[in-house]
Amino acid sequence: MDTSISNKKILVTGGAGFIGANLCEALLQMNNTVVCLDNFATGKRENIAPLLANKNFSLQQGDIRNLEDCKKAVAGVDYVLHQAALGSVPRSIKDPITSNQVNVSGFLNMLVASRDAGVKRFIYAASSSTYGDSEAMPKVEEVIGKPLSPYAITKYVNELYAGIFSNTYGLQTIGLRYFNVFGRKQDPNGAYAAVIPKFVSALMEGDSPVINGDGSYSRDFTYIDNVIQANILSMLTNNPEAINTVYNVAYGDRNTLNDLMGYLKEYLSSFDPKIASVAVINGPNRAGDIPHSHASVEKAKKLLHYNPKYSLQEGLKEAVQWYWDNL
C-alpha cells in the first residue's frame, strides 16, 4: 500500500503543535501545499520555524473559535487534518469551559467551513479517552464506556458531530482515536506536559521523575510516525467502507509506566551513565485517569491498510536521540 500523497493542498489545524507540526513537515517533504492554522495557545513557533522558508507552506495565525478564520483557512483545500484542540485531561478538569469552546465549538466551526468550501475529506484527531470507563481490552472502536473527564466528553462529541455531517451533508470524515502519542517536537514543559517528555527532561537533568500511582497503570504508547502514516492513509483511501468512521491509532501493545521508565533509563544512560541511578518517586493517582489502555488496531489494518512500524521501544530510541539533541 502506497503511503505517500503528493500535489494536494492540505490544511493542518493546530499545525504548530506537536502532532500538527510533524504532519506539516511530512506533507511538505511529499511535495504538497500545506496551510497551517494555529493560534499559538499551545502550539510553538519553533516547531514550524524551519518550514517558513518553504514556498509550499503558509501560516495563518487564527483561532478555530472564530468561524471567519476557519473559512479563510479552508479556501481551496483538498483535505483538512484537524489537530487543533486543547489537550489534557487535567486541563479540562481545571477549565472545562475553555476546553469545550475550543474542542466542541471550534470543531463545529471547522466542520461547517469544510462543508461550505467543498473539502474532499475532513480527518480529525479523536481520542482514546472516548473509551472512558469501559474495561474491555483490547479497545475496539464499537465498544466505549462513559467519559471520565470534560476532555473525553469533547472528543466524543467530535465523533458524534462528524457522523452527523457525513450523514446529513455528505462531508467525508474520518476520526483517528490517538493513543498516547509521543516523539520529536513534544513539549516537556508546562503543567500539562505529556508523560514521556516530562520523564525524559527530568532524567536528563538528574531530577527524580514522579510516577502517578505505583507505576502499574499501562498505556498503548504510539510513536509519531505511526500517526503520520494513519493520517496519510486516511486521505488516500477510496474504500467506501473506510470513510465516515473512526479508527484506533496505536501500536496495539501495552506497557506499564514502570516498563516505560525502565526503557527510558536504559536508552538515556547511553548518553549519560548517571541517569541509570536516578531515583523515581511515586505520587498519587491522577484524577480522571483510566488504569489501562490497549488498542486493537485490526480495523485500521483491515480498512486503511495501516501498518504501524514503531513499537514503544523503537520509537523511544529515536525520540530520546531527538530530546538529547534538542532539550
Task: Identify the burial level of 58 via C-beta atoms within 10 angstroms of its C-beta, where 0-12 means exposed, 13-18 middle and 19 or more buried.
Answer: middle
Distance CA 272, CA 279 (A): 15
- Average pLDDT of the residues of the chain: 96
Average pLDDT over residues 264-278: 96
Backbone angles phi, psi at 59, to 5 degrees: -105, 125
Average pLDDT over residues 169-174: 98
Residue 2 has pLDDT above 80, yes or no: no
| CA proximity to 35, closest of 77, 83, 6 | 77
Distance CA 14, CA 17 (A): 5
Average pLDDT over residues 240-260: 97
Average pLDDT over residues 298-319: 97
Residue 59 has pLDDT above 70, yes or no: yes
Confidence (pLDDT) at 1: 55
Distance CA 66, CA 37 (A): 12
Distance CA 290, CA 195 (A): 14
Confidence (pLDDT) at 318: 96
| CA proximity to 186, closest of 10, 287, 44 | 44
Residue 115 has pLDDT above 80, yes or no: yes
Residue 287 has pLDDT above 90, yes or no: no
Confidence (pLDDT) at 219: 95
Confidence (pLDDT) at 193: 83
Catalytic residue check, 156: no
Average pLDDT over residues 199-204: 95
Confidence at 96, pLDDT banded by 50, 70, 90: very high
Confidence (pLDDT) at 24: 98
The angle, 0 to 180 degrees and rounded to 10, between the axes of the packed helices 224-236 and 18-29 is 60
Q: How far is CA 219 from CA 112, 126, 128, in A?
A: 34, 17, 10
Residue 169 has pLDDT above 60, yes or no: yes
Q: Give residue 122's Cα distance to chain centre.
A: 15
**Picking from 73-77, 86-90, 187-191, which range would have the lowest pLDDT averaged per residue?**
187-191
**Picking from 30-44, 90-104, 186-200, which range would have the lowest pLDDT averaged per residue?**
186-200
pLDDT tens-digit profile of 15-50? 999 999 999 999 999 999 999 999 999 999 999 999
**Other Cβ atoms closer than 10 A to 8:** 16
Label each residue of the chain as H, E or C: CCCCCCCCEEEEECCCCHHHHHHHHHHHHCCCEEEEEECCCCCCHHHHHHHCCCCCEEEEECCCCCHHHHHHHHCCCCEEEECCCCCCHHHHHHCHHHHHHHHHHHHHHHHHHHHHHCCCEEEEEEEHHHHCCCCCCCECCCCCCCCCCHHHHHHHHHHHHHHHHHHHHCCCEEEEEECCEECCCCCCCCCCCCHHHHHHHHHHCCCCCEEECCCCCEECCEEHHHHHHHHHHHHHCCCHHHCCEEEEECCCCCEEHHHHHHHHHHHHCCCCHHHHHCCCEEECCCCCCCCECCECCHHHHHHHCCCCCCCHHHHHHHHHHHHHHHC
Domains of the chain: 9-182+222-252+293-310 (3.40.50.720)
- One-letter amino acid identity for 308? P
What is the bridge-based pairing of β-strands 255-256 and 218-219? antiparallel
Residue 14 has pLDDT above 80, yes or no: yes
The angle, 0 to 180 degrees and rounded to 10, between the axes of the packed helices 67-74 and 106-117 is 40
How much of the chain, in percent, has pLDDT values that exceed 90? 93
Average pLDDT over residues 48-59: 98
Confidence at 290, pLDDT banded by 50, 70, 90: confident
Buried b (16+ CB within 10 A) or exposed e, 217-227: bbbbbbbbbbb
Point out the catalytic residue in the list 124, 131, 151, 323.
151
Residue 172 has pLDDT above 70, yes or no: yes
